[in-house]
Structure 1
Amino acid sequence: MGKLIKLVQPTGDLKKEPNKDATLPVPLPVVMVQIKGKYTALDRKLWALLLHLGWDELETKSQLGKWHELEEAEVRRIIRRFSGTKGMNWIWESAQRLTETTVRYVRVDENDKRWKGITSLFTAECPESDERDGIFRYMFPAALIPILKEPERFARLRIQFLLRLKSKYSVTLYQLFEAHVNKRVPVVEVEVEELRTWLKVPEGKLKRWDDFYQKALKPALEEINKNPEEAGFSISFVLKRGGRGGKVQAIKFKINKTASRFELESKILATQTAKETARINTLVPPFRGTTIYDKARKIAHGLDVHVLEQEWREWIIKNDMKIDNPEAHFMAFIKAKIKKLYKQI
């Protein structure tokens, strides 16, 4: 069937149903360490919240250079509901930091050429203080939209849990672990100095292991492990010691999914797969019988017709085309493919 392009979508509605689970898929380069700037825990929360709220309009607004608009009171209400943050000035201060934060990315174009790039995470504006109209305008960089909408690898963040976390180190660790929880072996081993960099520990602070552990790492892990059902996992770890005096050199974290997490993910996948299958069948109805394959083999010059069919369906899905005569279109696709191959010989 090819890749299911539309499987990567948020779930839930923070405005209409704030008590129901809301999740957000975020590309790993944004979650991980390919971000440079003064990126605080509150900034991570605001960016994730605004992405969730604006997801359905990314291609009709951000990608076209148009503003998303929200009432500041709405943003404040949602954040305050889950994290207790009050006031209004923090929204603009956070937005300023986000615009000064950059992310590195890699994308593949329609010709399978790979491009590397760098862009800011965010753009925002609001009227001057004496003309404030209560509307907050924001935009995500156009270059990021395809990556946000169709990431090759992503972490599915639980928005309510993210917003409730208090420690800036908890927020970063949660996103880090969420990026690894679906690996075949959900283990993260990291050197202490690299972990300090990921957590953005201020330069010159918490340099001793005991201080770093007691004031940063331990409280963050305890906050995440305090509610494994809401996080979707719990964390255990072992210390890697070496050198003179058995100094802690690295930490090996193990991410343990909860039973309810397994159940929820199965439901999400089943629902979204069913929707995508229905969409694909509308675009390209399944062939009836085997006659079309017999015809295809006569012009395929030995190529596997089922592989060709998969490539053809993926091409149609990618271009979101509605085909009136699928069999004729499939045969034309094969002829064009063979013609291109012979040109290359």
Structure 2
Amino acid sequence: MDTTESSLQLFPSMSGEGAELRKPHEMIVMIPRTKRVTLTGRKIYNALLHFSQDRLVSMEGMPTADFMFSAPLQSILKVSGSSSETRTVAKRYLREMRGLAVDWETTAPGDGVKWKDFSMLAEAAIEVRNGENWVLWTFPPTLITALKDPMRWARIDLGVLATLSTYTSVALYEICARYRDNPGGLTSRKPVAWWADALSPAPAGSERREWRKFKNEKVKAAVEEINAETDLQIEMIEHKQGRSVFEVQFAVRKKRVAVKLVEQEQLGPVDADLVLSAQALGISEMKIEGLIKEFGEKAVNEKLVVLKQRLENDGLKKVENSFAYLRSLLRSPGDDDEIAKPRTSTETNAIPHVDRVLQSAKAEPQALSPSQVQNKAFDEWIADRRRFVTDEIQKLDSFQKEQLFKAVAHELTEKGLMTPVLKRRAAQGDMMHGALGVHCVNHYAKVLLGPDWNKPDADLFGVVAR
């Protein structure tokens, strides 16, 4: 295993906000068998699953039997929403997971236990790399197989999960997230004893409370927290026999977002310039594509401009996660102000509101500095060259295009950049849109114009290309 891999390369998102886990359905319900699971332990475990899945996606096949996943301890704790960064605390939770056996169940009716008495982790360790604490771990092979290529999964937003304050809230949110896009909007009906076990951190049946008490003490508060803090709105539905509740299910619906797609516009392939702009700000194509589906390309494009101005404003607190900041802008339309005004210490965590200030700035334009003029000129120059190369690609015959696309696909595969999204688009022949289009233009530009095609002479703008 290469212990010199860059944490920046492997873990571009160092914050929990925006981190997502495609959690297989058969791993949604975790029922402890031997001892209690802590809230922090479960959150950290989801973070380990997230980092493992990201690593598995970049691998051609299954990892070898002795392969161990690894990530910086700081990254794992941030993704899980944990504040402590000490090795001692981390070891405690790793030991908890290493020695804990659980039953994994699906939420589908009648499926029952999928895997019984599985250890959460097969092995775990902490080592120091270049002065930084790294966690190493592996799962039982069956879990790795399910994690690498899940047939059905629930999309778990780990940033949202990190905000939940109780174990019951986390467990219930994960179950309900599995039904986020279900047309019926209802979870399966399950006996009250099943829900008590599925939503409790204690071993199955060992401390099971009467449903009425468990509901009043734990479940009601979890429902309220999920409705207040997450993207879901849920409602508990009790089914009775006589006067006793014998089965329970939950109604689940996504909250309406404040920004709607204009005329429910049909989304075509993501524009290459938009992808480039997002990637330059540290946002991956997969994430920007998700935002476009939710808010529309026009809104995303506008807010990217706002994000870029925010990042360039040295008078404000540094933006730790560009994707999370952009998503906050998109989800908080109206009442927009204070993009340029330095905030006080009590305001540093507030969501910025920007449209009014932008409109004011347009009404009172300021002269660009010499460096801004140079940067603007370079942006226009590079855009012209990209358009020229794109036009030249369109002039190629079908055989020449096929050879170009094969070369680009091979190059991306060799570099480990061929993500599932890119593979799907390549298989569909959609090579000139999105990130694939960017790579095709970059590749062919080197053929046509040489390896320094994107570097103008120093005297062209008075500066060397960025």
- With the shorter chain as reference, the TM-score category is 0.5 to 0.7
Distance apart, 1:211 and its partner CA = 2.2
> Kindly tell me: are residues 72 and 276 of structure 1, through their superposed partners in 2, closer, same or farther at Cα, counting changes over 3 Å?
closer
2:148 and 2:127 mapped to 1: Cα distance?
Answer: 33
Which residue matches 2:43?
45
2:62 and 2:162 mapped to 1: Cα distance?
Answer: 24
> Kindly tell me: are residues 88 and 215 of structure 1, through their superposed partners in 2, closer, same or farther at Cα, counting changes over 3 Å?
farther
Segment of structure 1 superposing worse, 51-60 or 143-152: 51-60
Q: Which of 197, 209, 212 in structure 1 is aligned with 2:214?
A: 212
Which residue matches 2:94?
95
AA matched with 2:18 = D
Which residue matches 2:69?
68
SS of 2:235's equivalent in the other structure is: strand
2:211 and 2:182 mapped to 1: Cα distance?
Answer: 29
**Structure 1 contact 126–137 (Cα < 8 Å) conserved:** yes
Distance apart, 1:117 and its partner CA = 6.5
> Kindly tell me: are residues 223 and 187 of structure 1, through their superposed partners in 2, closer, same or farther at Cα, counting changes over 3 Å?
same
2:209 and 2:115 mapped to 1: Cα distance?
Answer: 33
Q: Deviations over 1:115-134 (max 9, x none)?
A: x87653323333699xx973
AA matched with 2:39 = A
Which residue matches 1:57?
55
2:88 and 2:149 mapped to 1: Cα distance?
Answer: 33
Q: Deviations over 1:38-92 (max 9, x none)?
A: 443322211211222233323479822222233334433444xx35456543322
**Structure 1 contact 125–136 (Cα < 8 Å) conserved:** yes
Structure 2 counterparts to residues 268-279 of structure 1, below 5 A:
275-279=422-426
Which residue matches 1:179?
178
Which residue matches 2:146?
147
- Is it true that 1:236 corresponds to 2:235 in the alignment? yes
Q: Which of 267, 290, 294 in structure 1 is aligned with 2:293?
A: 267
**Structure 1 contact 103–120 (Cα < 8 Å) conserved:** no
1:43 and 1:62 mapped to 2: Cα distance?
Answer: 26
Q: Which of 247, 261, 266 in structure 2 is aligned with 1:250?
A: 247
Which residue matches 1:221?
223
What TM-score do you get using the length of structure 2 for normalisation? Answer: 0.46
2:196 and 2:160 mapped to 1: Cα distance?
Answer: 23
Q: Which of 18, 22, 44 in structure 1 is aligned with 2:19?
A: 22
Which residue matches 1:302?
none
- Is it true that 1:32 corresponds to 2:29 in the alignment? yes
2:174 and 2:97 mapped to 1: Cα distance?
Answer: 17
SS of 2:209's equivalent in the other structure is: coil
Structure 2 counterparts to residues 277-316 of structure 1, below 5 A:
277-281=424-428
2:74 and 2:14 mapped to 1: Cα distance?
Answer: 17
Q: Deviations over 1:230-287 (max 9, x none)?
A: x2211112322333xx12222231001123399758728x999974443204699xxx
**Structure 1 contact 62–141 (Cα < 8 Å) conserved:** no
2:196 and 2:125 mapped to 1: Cα distance?
Answer: 35
**Structure 1 contact 192–250 (Cα < 8 Å) conserved:** yes
**Structure 1 contact 25–155 (Cα < 8 Å) conserved:** yes
AA matched with 1:279 = A
- Is it true that 1:190 corresponds to 2:176 in the alignment? no
SS of 1:238's equivalent in the other structure is: strand
Distance apart, 1:31 and its partner CA = 0.8
Which residue matches 1:135?
134
Structure 2 stretches lacking a partner, 5+ long: 1-9, 107-113, 262-289, 298-418, 432-466
AA matched with 1:190 = K
1:53 and 1:164 mapped to 2: Cα distance?
Answer: 19
AA matched with 2:213 = D
By relative contact order (CA 8 Å, sep 6+), the higher-ranking structure is 1
- Is it true that 1:125 corresponds to 2:124 in the alignment? yes
**Structure 1 contact 63–142 (Cα < 8 Å) conserved:** no
Which residue matches 2:439?
none
Distance apart, 1:101 and its partner CA = 2.9
> Kindly tell me: are residues 71 and 87 of structure 1, through their superposed partners in 2, closer, same or farther at Cα, counting changes over 3 Å?
same
SS of 1:248's equivalent in the other structure is: strand
Which residue matches 1:110?
none
SS of 1:63's equivalent in the other structure is: coil
Distance apart, 1:159 and its partner CA = 0.6
> How many residues of Structure 1 are paired with residues of Structure 2 in the alignment?
253
**Structure 2 contact 79–158 (Cα < 8 Å) conserved:** no
AA matched with 1:75 = I
**Structure 1 contact 62–140 (Cα < 8 Å) conserved:** no
CA RMSD of aligned residues (A): 4.0
> Kindly tell me: are residues 95 and 234 of structure 1, through their superposed partners in 2, closer, same or farther at Cα, counting changes over 3 Å?
same
**Structure 2 contact 70–137 (Cα < 8 Å) conserved:** yes
Distance apart, 1:199 and its partner CA = 1.5
1:45 and 1:136 mapped to 2: Cα distance?
Answer: 15
AA matched with 2:29 = M
Structure 1 stretches lacking a partner, 5+ long: 1-12, 107-115, 285-345
Q: Flag the structure with higher strand content.
A: 1
Which residue matches 1:309?
none
Q: Deviations over 1:10-55 (max 9, x none)?
A: xxx9753637522110111111257755443322211211222233
